[in-house]
Amino acid sequence: MKIVPEISRRSITKLINDGKRADGRAFDERREIFIEPNIISKAEGSAKVTLGDTQVIVGVKPTIGEPFGDTPNLGVLMTNCELLPMAAPEFEPGPPSPESIELARVVDRGIRESQLVDLEKLCIEEGKKVWMLFIDLHVIDYDGNLFDAANLAVMAALLNTKLPTATYVDEEVVLDEENLIDLPVVDKLALSTFVKIGNGMVLDPSLEEEEILDARITIGVTQEGNHVCSMQKGGEKPLTRDEVLDAVHMAFTTKEDLLQHLE
């Protein structure tokens, strides 16, 4: 547990109560975003996202496997996250921490629930063989708001993922590596994280804001569907109904601004 000097907690809180942020951003303003797609030639899909000084690398690797019994005609998505020890002094090697599991699951839930990947098209032979997509999140520099950075990186990686054409012949899957098809991505998800500090709710928390947050809320909104698809609250303090609704509203109004980076 990191000890935040009381003095910086007070100064940040006071600024927010006065309608300002330590780095001069508006409450609904994100830090600078850079997306580099296709940075790993050995991965079928990949991207690096920089959000402020937070950096996340995502790689997508497909394998062929068997579908789950209750969804014999659907492909499988699996999201895994590593908070690498290089990303922050407090991150330790070893089995995944609760924080990294939460991050992976929130990102996974957004993609899954929004149905932005057409899983039916990932079925090769019903009940027998389907594509399984492994989405591996690598956090390499932690400067706050991993949720949004990770989701954006996953979106960018999925949008450039290409799979070999697979056909099922004589009980076997035949892959045609010459003819690649784009992963069927039918929508985009904007994930927005807000934190409550003092009397204010701010978008895209910086590290220093995240360290003193009272409460955190992450909201996933689809571009085409225009739906809320996922939500996650964190932090030790509660949020009021109005605070939640304000955050959801802001998630919708800032959605396009975020997703334009994927063009």
Partner 1 sequence: MFFITSNDRKLRDDGRAYDEIRPIKIEAGVLKRADGSAYLEFGGNKILASVYGPRESYIRRLLKPNTGVIRVRYNMAPFSVDDRKRPGPDRRSTEISKIAADALRPALMLEQFPRSMVDVSIEIIEAEGGTRCAGITAAAVALADAGIPMKDIVVGCAAGKVNDEVVLDLSEKEDKEGQADVPIAIMPRTGEITLLQADGNLTEEEFEEALDLAMEGCRQIAKIQEDALKRRYGVEM
Q: Which is nearer to partner 1, 61 or 261 (CB)?
A: 61
Instruction: Give the HSE-up count for residue 65: Cα atoms under 13 Å, Cβ half-sphere.
Output: 14
Coil vs helix vs strand at 21 = coil
Q: Which is nearer to partner 1, 154 or 221 (CB)?
A: 154
CA distance 191 to 7: 31
CA-based nearest residue to 77, from 51, 99, 110: 110
Q: How far is the CB of 133 from partner 1 (least distance, A)?
A: 10
**Residue 191 near residue 110 (C-beta atoms within 8 A):** yes
Q: Which is nearer to partner 1, 28 or 44 (CB)?
A: 44
Q: How far is the CB of 32 from partner 1 (least distance, A)?
A: 13
Helix (H) or strand (E) holding 186: none
Q: Who contacts 24 (Cβ-Cβ below 8 Å, separation ≥6)?
A: none
Q: How far is the CB of 237 from partner 1 (least distance, A)?
A: 26
CA-based nearest residue to 152, from 195, 101, 201, 192: 192
Q: How far is the CB of 43 from partner 1 (least distance, A)?
A: 4
Which residues make up the interface to partner 1 (CB under 8 A)? 39-43, 46, 53, 55, 57, 59-61, 63, 80, 82, 84-89, 93, 95, 134, 136, 138, 140-143
